[in-house]
Chain A
Amino acid sequence: DGGITQSPKYLFRKEGQNVTLSCEQNLNHDAMYWYRQDPGQGLRLIYYSQIVNDFQKGDIAEGYSVSREKKESFPLTVTSAQKNPTAFYLCASSIENPGQGYGYTFGSGTRLTVV
């Protein structure tokens, strides 16, 4: 079955540490996205990539970094510079820009907690 796999499901990080969240898709989608979700909030865009070896900052990119070396993979690193990293992180993909009319397919998410 095609889909998006995020790992791990739960992640605990000590303050000052960098941590990398994995996102892999086998849907052959060109575009991939990282969103952050806080309780009672909508989804806020961190980074997105529409093609391999290229990515763009979203609305809240500070303290995060990404890479897109392969079409299938779009890992997100939460750095120590991110002031409030505890959140639910969602990876998504789409055939093209969802603004063109294609919906997102989301992964099951990673819940990151800073301890």
Chain B
Amino acid sequence: GQQVMQIPQYQHVQEGEDFTTYCNSSTTLSNIQWYKQRPGGHPVFLIQLVKSGEVKKQKRLTFQFGEAKKNSSLHITATQTTDVGTYFCAGARSRDDKIIFGKGTRLHILP
């Protein structure tokens, strides 16, 4: 079936290092959303990307939507302990707007 693949599944980084998670869809997306879930918490909406090639920034977070609208990335610059958690992408299929979640990337920060 159509899926949204997210890599890596886990990532350990030293505090201060950068982090990137990638999201790839087998089908064209009308938009993609990113969520953060802290350990023991619930997903919180971060941002939505709609346009081909779109880039958005939130402080140390940079979000990109690919030109073909099939992939996306989230990059965190100079990670901090508050960045710990699981980052999910959720893509909306173009043909019916069904939301498909990736399995998430769990970020662990080493002090």
Contacts and interface: CB of A to CB of B under 8 A. Distances in A.
- Are A and B subunits of one complex? yes
Nearest to A109: B42
A34 to B, nearest CB: 13
| Tier of interface size on chain B | 20 to 34
Contact of B42 (A44, A101, A102, A107): A107
B97 A99 contact: yes
Size bracket, chain A contacts: 20 to 34
A103 B101 contact: no
A105 B45 CA distance: 7
Interface in A65-94: 90
A11 interface: no
Given A98-B33, A99-B98, A104 B43 contact: yes
B88 A42 contact: yes
B59 to A, nearest CB: 18
A100 B97 contact: yes
B48 A103 contact: yes
Looking at A42, A90, A106, the one whose CB has the most chain B CB atoms below 10 A away is A42
A107 B42 CA distance: 7
Interface of B: 6, 9, 30-31, 33, 35, 41-45, 48, 50, 88, 90, 92-93, 96-99, 101-104
Interface of A: 40-45, 90, 97-109
